[in-house]
Amino acid sequence: KNIAILAGDGIGPEVTAEAVKVLDAIAETFGHQFQYTDALIGAAAINATGNPFPEATEESCKSADAILFGAIGDPKYDNDPNAKVRPEQGLLKMRKNLGLFANVRPVSSYDALLPISPLKEHIIKGTDFVVFRELTGGIYFGEPRGRSEDGNTAFDSCVYSKTEIERISHLAFKAAENRRKKLTLVDKANVLATSRLWRETVKDLSSQYPEVALDFMFVDNAAMKIIQNPKDFDVVLTENMFGDIITDEASVISGSLGLLPSASLGLKSSLFEPIHGSYPQAAGKGIANPIGAILSAAMLLEYAFDLKEECQIIKDAVNSALNIGYGTEDIFPDEGKSTSEVGDFISQ
């Protein structure tokens, strides 16, 4: 099996290295062969080639059986509105060109981390939901976007087609069938035309999934309910921008953004990445939490290679580490281990 490794910027390379360590341990134990191909993306790729998603990287991704991704982003581009090339363009172009339309983000609480969550224990204990975020449409990609000629007006477009909504909705309905059979569509149908198309389309599809209870929630309300009653959610389906916001928000339930993995699924490719960003302030210090990347590698084994047992073993190893208080300083401030110590520990 061939895995493209796109480590990217900031803490991306550090955490990806630990995920690869864990994949190697799995390969050895189970006698699998994983081949890795490194490729450039983000600011790292801009520095080397001027392009945040070079063609060579696209080729590597397309010929790989799965992609393991770190993070992209560099603060030097964030406050420069005139930067012509931006690391995020690489990420977005990659998602688009590889057709990675469904971003799957599981959220759960860890008993060992209940003390560090800002939320009360009885609120979060037992939380277990998964967000299906549409990833190649909406305001991230809609045209036209840009500036008026005089530069005094800016505009973005949010566009969705029925087809785009249907393909991810089918995945979300199927996931709900295999879980607690509840699907919540998060939208802003009282204001947005695109949200009304989402609501209409998902409602139409629901007759194909009679076992799944479908409900609708406005995004403002959802942002509140996810904190108040996270256990009420099972499968959450939403568009690109809303999914970006509520999954980061939901990370407080687990206790740290550093813990959460994600899978981005397309028809031909699939990519796995921690949901934390490049976290430049922590880069190079050996303090980045590798668990999000490691759990992304676990999702890779399950989703891309159908290796369920291997996936479960990684999850168990992560749990064991957390249960004995072995982790980086974001989750265990008093006795934080280094990124590579945590990777070593989990690989054992």
The contact mask relative to ligand IPM for 291-320 (x = CB under 6 A, - = no) is: ------------------------------
Buried b (16+ CB within 10 A) or exposed e, 78-103: eeeeeeeebbbbbbbbbbbbbbbbbb
Angle at 67 between CA 64 and CA 70, to 5 degrees: 150
315: how many CB neighbours lie within 10 A of its CB?
15
Looking at the Cβ atoms of 117 and 339, the one nearer to a copy of itself is: 117
182: CB partners within 8 A, 6+ apart: 176, 212, 213, 215, 233, 234, 235
Question: Minimum distance between the CB of residue 164 and a copy of itself, rounded to whole angstroms?
Answer: 9
Q: Which of 140, 209, 303, 326 is catalytic?
A: 140
Total of chain residues touching ligand IPM, rule CB under 6 A: 9
Q: Which residues in 2-41 contact ligand IPM (CB under 6 A)? A: none
Question: What is the DSSP pairing of strand 182-187 with strand 213-218?
Answer: parallel
CB-side neighbour CA atoms (13 Å) of 280: 11
Q: Helix 339-347 to helix 291-303 angle, to the nearest 10 degrees?
A: 40
In the set 80, 111, 215, 220, the catalytic residue is 220
Query: Is residue 78 part of the contact set for ligand IPM (CB under 6 A)?
Result: no
Among residues 9, 188, 279, 326, the one annotated as catalytic is 188
| Residue from 152, 153, 178, 190 binding ligand IPM (CB under 6 A) | 190
From CA 282, how far away is CA 194, in angstroms rounded? 38
Binding characters for a copy of itself, 106-145, by CB under 8 A (x = yes): -----------xxxx--x---------------xx-x--x
231 labelled catalytic: no
Tokens of 286: 């050996």
CA atoms within 13 A on the CB side of 182: 13
Kindly name the residue from 24, 128, 156, 244 that is annotated as catalytic: 244
Q: Is 277 in the site for ligand IPM (CB under 6 A)?
A: yes
Structure tokens at 176: 């709900």
Q: How far is the CB of 316 from ligand IPM (least distance, A)?
A: 27
Q: Which is nearer to ligand IPM, 152 or 190 (CB)?
A: 190
Q: Sheet harboring 128-134: ordered strands across?
A: 35-38, 2-8, 66-71, 270-274, 261-265, 102-108, 128-134, 235-238, 182-187, 213-218
Q: Is 140 assigned a catalytic role?
A: yes
Contact mark string toward ligand IPM, 217..236, x via CB under 6 A: ---x----------------
Residue 73 found at the interface with a copy of itself (CB under 8 A): yes
Residues within the interface to a copy of itself (CB under 8 A): 73, 77-79, 81, 86, 88, 92, 117-120, 123, 139-140, 142, 145-147, 152-163, 188-194, 196-197, 199-200, 203, 216, 219-221, 223-224, 227-228, 241-242, 244-249, 251-252, 257
- Which residues would be at the binding site for ligand IPM (CB under 6 A)? 73, 88, 91, 190-191, 220, 244, 275, 277
